[in-house]
Structure 1
Amino acid sequence: MDMSAFGAVLFDKDGTLFDFAATWEAWATAFLTRLCGADTDRAVRAGKLIGFDLRTAKFAPDSVVIAGTPSEVAEVLRPSFPELSGPALIAVLNEEAARAPQREAVPLVPLLTALRDRGLALGVATNDAIGPARVHLAEAGVAGLFDFIAGFDSGYGAKPEAGQMFAFATACDLPPRRIVMVGDSAHDLHAGRAAGMACVAVLTGMAGRDTLAPLADAVLPDIGHLPAWLDAQGDTTG
């Protein structure tokens, strides 16, 4: 793949722009406590269904939460909460997601501003719902720095399908080969590759280098290393 003359960067959100564990461990604890109240045993059982240990507040590496959509998480949880409809359960998950604390993987305003100053279009493609995604980006003060923001419920599908990738390419009026997809999970990289984009992995999510390296053109410690990587590819404007 010719990696010169990139015109845009598309970011995953959780585990890429924001540290995954800091956000979603607090989210899982909050919604399980909300739904189960004082019934700790019920909360622990429900947490196990989604690969979350409530007692240690840690996710398993294969948790559905890591790359799944709220709909997929709700489907797994439904046996534990038969009193709630699917939409009602998704609503609770999204409400708690919007309240979840965010820890930036690196200071986002200076990084994203520098990328925009290079003439790059910027986007976010997340398997989170669009409502919480916009809240998280706004709270970080970076929503206005993106030309495109899509969640699993924005009408383009969810990763690892490539619908969000193609929608961003259309919004930027660029061929996918001139776009870099940056993410922390196999879902991100499969989606970017399926669209014909360059793929860069970061290690601020739950997946390790051994998982990501075979799927990516590069593996970086975090998105703060992206400008140097772009410089190494040649001209990133035009």
Structure 2
Amino acid sequence: MCTGPERRADGVLFDKDGTLFDFDATWVAWVEALIAHWGGQDAARRAALAAAVGFDLAGRAFHPGSVAIAGTPEETARALAPVVGLPAAALVDRLNEEAALAPMAEAVPLAPLLGGLRSQGLRLGVATNDAEAPARAHLSAAGVLELFDFIAGSDSGHGGKPGPGMCQAFARATGLAPGRVVMVGDSTHDLIAGRAAGMQVVAVLSGPAGVAELGPLADAVLPDIGHLPGWLAA
């Protein structure tokens, strides 16, 4: 077993959506339900809602710059507010409630992967631009909540990504030097946040972004987090 300086890191900070959980398998159904709820049978209104969140209704896919990919609930609410006709503040709670109920699809079997990392003495955390309550609900439903030393959302008081606040908070909470932590994510927001905090950064391709977008910012690009143990031990 690799320990201490013989492995690349002593802590792993994961993004949630697109990293721990497959992005499209979870959030396409969520956004379609949201559009159906607020759009009803009005085709023009449904199209406007889809455009607001950067979603292709016909192709059932998010556009690369979609606010739903890496944005916070508050940012998504601000994008939807003019179409829905409600203040953004009134939409945030509804978005968080719906997000907590979204059926999550694990990118890989999480319990054995995370349990294996814990057994090697690594400290684990989650830093997501989702709100903290839905994040905890998703991790609990997957049976892995207790495997994490740290969980932060965009509303946890550390700011959202690409700011480094959540990454810095993880390092403080675990007592690890930032350089001994790897931030793992599927978006440029994740990689920029980790790098700004002085961490190593690894990209995974289980979200909407590809190698061309993520590669220039990452120390490594992996197909998914199932390949992380091998990279850590290399």
State the TM-score bracket (shorter-chain normalisation). Answer: over 0.9
Q: Which range moved further: 12-21 or 27-36?
A: 27-36
Question: How many Å apart are 1:3 and its aligned residue?
Answer: 8.8
Give the superposed CA RMSD: 1.3
Equivalents in 2 of 1:120, 1:41: separation in Å?
50
Match for 2:144 among 135, 142, 150?
A: 142
Equivalents in 2 of 1:88, 1:3: separation in Å?
50
The amino acid of 1:8's aligned partner reads: G
Residue 46 (1) aligns with residue 49 (2): yes
Structure 1 residue aligned with 2:31: 28
Question: How many Å apart are 1:49 and its aligned residue?
Answer: 1.6
CA contact (8 A) 1:3 1:178 kept: no
Calculate percent identity across the aligned residue pairs: 60
Equivalents in 2 of 1:9, 1:30: separation in Å?
33
- TM-score, reference length from structure 1: 0.93
CA contact (8 A) 2:22 2:207 kept: yes
Equivalents in 2 of 1:198, 1:5: separation in Å?
9
Greater than 3 Å deviation, 4+ residue runs: 2-5
CA contact (8 A) 1:3 1:198 kept: no
Structure 2 residue aligned with 1:182: 184
Equivalents in 2 of 1:106, 1:28: separation in Å?
23
Could you give the per-residue CA deviations for residues 159-205 of structure 1, whole angstroms, max 9, x where no partner exists?
A: 00000000000000111011010000000000000000000100000
Question: How many Å apart are 1:214 and its aligned residue?
Answer: 0.7
Unaligned runs of 5+ residues in structure 2 are: none
CA contact (8 A) 2:183 2:194 kept: yes
Match for 1:75 among 67, 74, 78?
A: 78
Unaligned runs of 5+ residues in structure 1 are: 233-238
Map 1:56-75 to 2 at 5 A.
56-75=59-78
The amino acid of 1:216's aligned partner reads: A
Question: How many Å apart are 1:40 and its aligned residue?
Answer: 3.3
Which secondary structure state, in structure 2, belongs to the residue aligned with residue 109 of structure 1? Answer: helix
Residue 216 (1) aligns with residue 218 (2): yes
Map 1:4-23 to 2 at 5 A.
4=7, 6-23=9-26
The amino acid of 1:98's aligned partner reads: A
The structure-2 alpha-carbon separation of the partners of 1:123 and 1:175, relative to structure 1 and needing over 3 Å to count, comes to same
Structure 2 residue aligned with 1:235: none
Q: Which range moved further: 143-152 or 29-38?
A: 29-38
Which secondary structure state, in structure 2, belongs to the residue aligned with residue 38 of structure 1? Answer: coil
CA contact (8 A) 2:203 2:214 kept: yes
Map 1:74-153 to 2 at 5 A.
74-82=77-85, 84-153=86-155
Which secondary structure state, in structure 2, belongs to the residue aligned with residue 24 of structure 1? Answer: helix
Equivalents in 1 of 2:22, 2:197: separation in Å?
26
Equivalents in 2 of 1:91, 1:39: separation in Å?
24
Equivalents in 2 of 1:21, 1:171: separation in Å?
31
Q: How many residues align structurally?
A: 230
Equivalents in 2 of 1:6, 1:169: separation in Å?
12
